[in-house]
C-alpha cells in the first residue's frame, strides 16, 4: 500500500467507488425481486345503451258506422272493427275488450242481441273468434258463397265502364269458391259486346288480371274515339270565302198601258168627275 498522501487519496476514492457500485447493485437486485406494481384498474367503459325499438304512435281512427243488423253490412262491419284492433293493439289487449268495442257499435235489433249476450255471460263473450262467427250466423245466415255465385252469374257490364264492372265483379268473386278459370269465363260473359267484339282477331288471355287489363284498355280506346267523333261533329265547318255579288240590274219601268199612251196625268178635278 502506497504510504504517500497521493496513494492514500486514490485508495479512498477506489473504496468509495466500490462501495457505491455495491449499493447500486443491491438496489437493482431489490428492485428486480419486487413484483411489478399493479396498474390502476380502470372501470370498464360503460356499455353504450342501444336505443330500444321505437314504438310508433298508434293512429287515430274514425269509429266504424254502427251495425243495425243489415245482412249485407255484417262482414264489412266486422272487417272495419278488426282493422281497428290491428292498428290500435294497446287499446284492445284482450278478446273481451274487442267484444265490448263491437257491442258498443251495435244499434237497433243488433244492439239488443249484443246486450243480452253480454249480460247473460254467454260463452261467446270470452272469444272474439266465436263472437264474430255468432254475429254472422245470426244476422247473415245465408252463405256468402251462394249469394256471390248468383251475383256472378247475373252480373253484366251494361252501359257502365269496365272499371266499374271490375269493382262489382271483385266484390262478388272475393266470397266465391270459384277457381280462376271459372272466374275468367264468367267475367268474359258479362262484358259488353262492344268490348268482346274488339279483339276478334286474337285470343283472349286466360289470366283474369290480363283479361281485366285488356278490357280496360279497349274501353278507354273506345271512349276516346267517341269523344273524337263528338268533337268533330260539334266543330263548325269553315265558311267559303265571301264572293262579291254582282249588282242586280235595275228593273225597267213597266210599259205604259195602252189607254195611258199620249195622255197626261189627270188633274184632281178630273179624277173626282170620273
* Banded pLDDT at 190 (limits 50, 70, 90): very high
Point out which residues pair with 67 in neighbouring strands.
106
Name which residue leads in pLDDT, 223 or 44: 223
Domain boundaries, the chain: 71-139, 144-230
Copy the grid coordinates of residue 78.
Answer: 266486422
Calculate mean pLDDT across residues 236-251. Answer: 56
* pLDDT recorded at residue 141: 75
Copy the grid coordinates of residue 143.
Answer: 252463405
Copy the grid coordinates of residue 226.
Answer: 267517341
Three-state SS string over the chain comes to CCCCHHHHHHHHHHHHHHHHHHHHHHHHHHHHHCCCCCCCCCCCCCCCCCCCCCCCCCCCCCCCCCECCCHHHHHHHHHHHHHHHHHCHHHCCCHHHHHHHHHHCECHHHHHHHHHHHHCCCHHHHCHHHHHHHHHHHHCCCCHHHHHHHHHHHCCCCCCCHHHHHHHHHHHHCCCCCCHHHHHHHHHHHCCHHHHHCCCCCCCCCCHHHHHHHHHHHHHHHHHHHHHHHHHHHCCCCCCCCCCCCCCCCCCCCCCCHHHCCCCCCCHHHHHHC
Share of the chain above pLDDT 90, in %: 47
What span, in angstroms and rounded, lies between the C-alpha atoms of 90 and 96? 13
Most confident residue range from 10-19, 157-166, 218-227, 248-257: 157-166
Calculate mean pLDDT across residues 227-256. Answer: 62
Half-sphere exposure of 100 (CA within 13 A, CB side): 9
What span, in angstroms and rounded, lies between the C-alpha atoms of 80 and 87? 11
* pLDDT recorded at residue 230: 82
pLDDT, the chain, mean: 80
Share of the chain above pLDDT 70, in %: 64
Planar angle of CA 121, 125, 129, nearest 5 degrees = 155
Amino acid at each position: 500500500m502506497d504510504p504517500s498522501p497521493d496513494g492514500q487519496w486514490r485508495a479512498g476514492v477506489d473504496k468509495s467507488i466500490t462501495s457505491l457500485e455495491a449499493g447500486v447493485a443491491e438496489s437493482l437486485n431489490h428492485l428486480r425481486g419486487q413484483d411489478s406494481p399493479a396498474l390502476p384498474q380502470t372501470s370498464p367503459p360503460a356499455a353504450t345503451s342501444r336505443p330500444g325499438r321505437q314504438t310508433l304512435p298508434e293512429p287515430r281512427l274514425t269509429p266504424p258506422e254502427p251495425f243495425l243488423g243489415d245482412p249485407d253490412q255484417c262482414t264489412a262491419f266486422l272487417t272495419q272493427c278488426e282493422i281497428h284492433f290491428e292498428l290500435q293493439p294497446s287499446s284492445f289487449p284482450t278478446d273481451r275488450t274487442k267484444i265490448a268495442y263491437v257491442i258498443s257499435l251495435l244499434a237497433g235489433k243488433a244492439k239488443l242481441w249484443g246486450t243480452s249476450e253480454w249480460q247473460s255471460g254467454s260463452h261467446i263473450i270470452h272469444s272474439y273468434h266465436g263472437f264474430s262467427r255468432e254475429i254472422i250466423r245470426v244476422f247473415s245466415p245465408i252463405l256468402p258463397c251462394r249469394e256471390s255465385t248468383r251475383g256472378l252469374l247475373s252480373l253484366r257490364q251494361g252501359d257502365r265502364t269496365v272499371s266499374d264492372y271490375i269493382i262489382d265483379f271483385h266484390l262478388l268473386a272475393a266470397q266465391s269458391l270459384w277457381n280462376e278459370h271459372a272466374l275468367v269465363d264468367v267475367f268474359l260473359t258479362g262484358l259488353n259486346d262492344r268490348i268482346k267484339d274488339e279483339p276478334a282477331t286474337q285470343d283472349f288471355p286466360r289470366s283474369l288480371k290480363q283479361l281485366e287489363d285488356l278490357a280496360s284498355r279497349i274501353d278507354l280506346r273506345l271512349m276516346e274515339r267517341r269523344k273524337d267523333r263528338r268533337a268533330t261533329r260539334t266543330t263548325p265547318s269553315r265558311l267559303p270565302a265571301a264572293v262579291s255579288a254582282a249588282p242586280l240590274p235595275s228593273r225597267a219601268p213597266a210599259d205604259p198601258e195602252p189607254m195611258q199612251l199620249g195622255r197626261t196625268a189627270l188633274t184632281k178635278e178630273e179624277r173626282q168627275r170620273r
